[in-house]
């Protein structure tokens, strides 16, 4: 039986009233539970003012509370952004200042020394406490505390004999002690001190789309391209003046970095000051959709090797032309920069069954990587397996990006010793955050970044907007004919004997 319209309407009204009453009653209960003494005193003062008929006092006590509650209920985002969150940050910073000595002792950055020498009974330590008999606890003092971009920053003053490495070793304990998602240690330029940065939310958790430049976009900067965002809210700018290795497990977001690079270079590619050479040995599954972007393109091993050998020869010829005139190439239409994009490098130099092709590919790549920077040739290589036996010339790829990796050993293979201590936790990146990774900053410390999501429609749009001015086919050189060897004397004698001749 269908219910009457007025019954449904009444049900909706009752549900709405119930939610409102629940919010107000629940909020009052939570407020009392958190601030028992203050709310009890406020309620008692209001009751006394009511009993004494002090209407002005009642208004002074009740109206601010009702106004704040109405603000929180009606405009919760504004309330949190303008009042609740700043107050919470202020309380947390005050708590950190108050509990700092205990925090330093709990994470292992304090030390106990005898109450003798420069510390005597009755003296005051730097934290204001008085020295008593027995061992004295010394801890780094706290100079400043500040909130910036939703992150809490603290500047400790290290004890004599302490180094930044000591603080880095305690980074994870510092994170857990304050309940943060991430804790970073940022050394000062002289590496004599540091700042501690706690992040309580993940600014890179939400995915975002990559950007395809507009049809009339300018050529843009020569030395770097924007690929996404850093965890500090800054634009992630990737240098294109160095050859780059991007390592990441399957489905870690390498395609976001690949196409983000190609999108950013689109205007320069269309103008002819940059040439894109692509190698996709996965049957063209990744790069073939953007085929018009590439001046040269290969999706088989023999074509890839022939293209790399051509690039190596052209590189050396350009070096001869520029020798004695300049030490650094300046890109132009006549002398364009060449960016070689290799999807799955290991398929080219490790998994190929033809040993001769592998040897030729390694030789050509070594020439390009070791000599290409000054003359405008750069390689952007992507792979899943960063082991040295897989990529022997890994040390020639001077810029490294690490996406999600399998274990700690792979992080060390990609970034080198000390990367884990400095915070490059590629093996802890969740599977749900594709495109998140780490890149080394100018101070050689890892920065957490995320590249934008790329859809098929974006690739097709970029290929239509920024096609290469010309496409150069790859010609595989014919193998030289080997002259027939003349049979040896013994072979000729054996042949005559087999037909009845004299030996």
The region, left, alpha or beta by phi > 0 then psi within -120 to 50, assigned to residue 328 is: beta
Q: Which residues pair with 44 in a beta bridge?
A: none
Does the annotation flag 40 for ligand binding?
no
CATH code of the domain in which 373 resides: 3.40.50.300
Same domain, 280 and 142: no
Q: Which residues pair with 142 in a beta bridge?
A: 156
Does 256 map to a domain? Answer: yes
Does the annotation flag 252 for ligand binding?
yes
Same domain, 177 and 308: no
Q: For position 45, what pLDDT does the model report? A: 86
Same domain, 286 and 397: yes
Same domain, 141 and 279: no
Same domain, 187 and 269: no
Does 85 map to a domain? Answer: yes
Same domain, 241 and 183: no
CB 473 within 8 A of CB 291: no
Same domain, 282 and 378: yes
The CA R_g of the chain, rounded to the nearest whole Å, is 34
Of the candidates 464, 33, 462, 476, which has an alpha carbon nearest to the alpha carbon of residue 211?
462
Residues in Cβ contact with 68 at an 8 Å cutoff, skipping those fewer than 6 apart? 79, 83
Distance in angstroms (rounded) separating the CA atoms of residues 250 and 49: 69
Does the annotation flag 233 for ligand binding?
no
Q: What is the DSSP string of 135-155?
A: -EEE--EEEEEEEETTEEEEE
Does 124 map to a domain? Answer: no
Q: What is the DSSP string of 26-67?
A: HHHHHHHHHSHHHHHHHHHHHHHHHHTT-HHHHHHHHHHHHH
Q: Could you give the angle at which helices 171-178 and 85-106 cross, rounded to 10 degrees?
A: 130
- Is the C-alpha dihedral spanning 391, 392, 396, 399 positive or negative? positive
For residue 392, give the H/E element and its range: none
Placement of tokens 């003494």 in the chain: 37
Q: For position 1, what pLDDT does the model report? A: 46
Distance in angstroms (rounded) separating the CA atoms of residues 262 and 210: 11
Does 14 map to a domain? Answer: no
- Angle, vertex CA 442, rays to CA 197 and CA 375, nearest 5: 160
Does the annotation flag 249 for ligand binding?
yes
CB 109 within 8 A of CB 162: yes
Same domain, 169 and 248: no
Predicted model pTM? 0.78
Q: Is 254 exposed, middle or buried (0-12, 13-18, 19+ CB in 10 A)?
A: buried
Task: Write out the residue range of the structural domain in which residue 146 sits.
Answer: 81-111+133-199
The Cβ-side half-sphere exposure at 404, using a 13 Å CA radius, reads: 16
Does 8 map to a domain? Answer: no
CB 364 within 8 A of CB 312: yes
Task: Tell me the average confidence (pLDDT) per consecutive run of 10 residues in the chain, 503 residues long.
Answer: 69 82 82 82 86 84 85 85 88 92 92 63 54 71 90 93 91 93 90 92 90 87 88 90 91 93 94 94 88 94 93 93 85 92 88 87 92 92 80 83 91 85 89 91 84 94 94 80 60 59 48
Distance in angstroms (rounded) separating the CA atoms of residues 176 and 196: 13
Q: For position 177, what pLDDT does the model report? A: 93
Same domain, 228 and 171: no
Does 44 map to a domain? Answer: no
Same domain, 421 and 324: yes
Does 211 map to a domain? Answer: no
CB 222: neighbour CB atoms within 10 A?
Answer: 14
CB 254 within 8 A of CB 472: no
Does the annotation flag 416 for ligand binding?
no
| Residue 433 token pair | 């955050």
The Cβ-side half-sphere exposure at 340, using a 13 Å CA radius, reads: 29
The CA-atom distances, in angstroms, between 304 and each of 120, 239, 392, 442, 475 are 75, 25, 18, 33, 10
CB 226 within 8 A of CB 239: no
| Residue 61 token pair | 């006590």
| Residue 473 token pair | 């086919």
Same domain, 250 and 169: no
* Phi, psi for 452 (deg, rounded to 5): -75, 155
H helices of 115-233, in order, are 164-169, 171-178
Distance in angstroms (rounded) separating the CA atoms of residues 221 and 277: 20
Number of domains in the chain: 2
Does 287 map to a domain? Answer: yes
Same domain, 356 and 278: yes
């Amino acid at each position: 039986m269908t219910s009457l319209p007025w019954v449904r309407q009444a049900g909706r009204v009752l549900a709405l009233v119930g939610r409102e009453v629940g919010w107000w009653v629940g909020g009052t209960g939570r407020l009392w539970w958190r601030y028992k003494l203050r709310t009890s005193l406020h309620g008692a003062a209001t009751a006394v003012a009511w009993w004494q008929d002090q209407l002005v006092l009642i208004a002074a006590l009740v109206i601010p509370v009702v106004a704040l509650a109405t603000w929180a209920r009606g405009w919760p985002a504004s309330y949190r952004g303008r009042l609740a969150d700043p107050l919470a940050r202020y309380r947390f910073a005050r708590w950190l200042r108050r509990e700092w000595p205990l925090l330093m002792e709990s994470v292992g950055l304090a030390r106990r020394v005898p109450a003798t020498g420069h510390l005597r009974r009755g003296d005051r330590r730097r934290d204001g406490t008085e020295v008593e008999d027995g061992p004295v606890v010394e801890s780094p003092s706290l100079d400043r505390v500040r909130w910036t971009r939703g992150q809490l920053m603290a500047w400790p003053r290290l004890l004599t004999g302490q180094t930044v490495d000591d603080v880095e070793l305690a980074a994870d304990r510092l994170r857990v002690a304050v309940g943060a998602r991430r804790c970073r240690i940022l050394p000062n330029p002289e590496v004599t001190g540091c700042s501690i940065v706690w992040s309580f939310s993940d600014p890179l958790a939400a995915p975002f789309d990559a950007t395809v430049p507009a049809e009339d976009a300018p050529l843009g900067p020569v030395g770097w391209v924007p690929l996404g965002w850093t965890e500090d809210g800054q634009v992630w700018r990737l240098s294109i003046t160095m050859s780059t290795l991007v390592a990441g497990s399957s489905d870690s977001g390498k395609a976001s970095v690949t196409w983000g690079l190609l999108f950013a270079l689109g205007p320069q590619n269309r103008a002819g000051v940059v040439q894109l050479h692509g190698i996709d040995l996965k049957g063209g599954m990744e790069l073939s959709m953007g085929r018009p972007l590439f001046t040269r393109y290969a999706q088989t091993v023999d074509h890839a090797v022939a293209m790399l050998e051509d690039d190596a020869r052209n590189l050396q010829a350009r070096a001869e032309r520029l020798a004695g005139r300049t030490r650094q190439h300046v890109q132009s239409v006549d002398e364009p920069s060449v960016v070689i994009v290799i999807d799955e490098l290991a398929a080219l130099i490790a998994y190929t069954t033809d040993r001769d092709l592998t040897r030729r590919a390694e030789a050509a790549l070594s020439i390009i990587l070791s000599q290409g920077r000054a003359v405008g040739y750069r390689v952007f290589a992507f792979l899943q397996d960063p082991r040295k036996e897989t990529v022997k010339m890994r040390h020639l790829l001077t810029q490294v990006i690490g996406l999600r990796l399998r274990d700690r050993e792979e992080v060390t293979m990609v970034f080198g010793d000390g990367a884990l201590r400095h915070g490059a936790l590629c093996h802890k990146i969740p599977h749900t955050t594709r495109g998140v990774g780490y890149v080394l900053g100018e101070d050689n410390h890892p920065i957490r970044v995320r590249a934008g999501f790329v859809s098929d429609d974006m690739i097709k749009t970029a290929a239509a907007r920024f096609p290469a001015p010309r496409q150069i086919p790859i010609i595989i050189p014919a193998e030289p004919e080997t002259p027939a060897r003349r049979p040896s004397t013994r072979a000729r004698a054996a042949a005559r004997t087999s037909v009845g001749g004299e030996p």
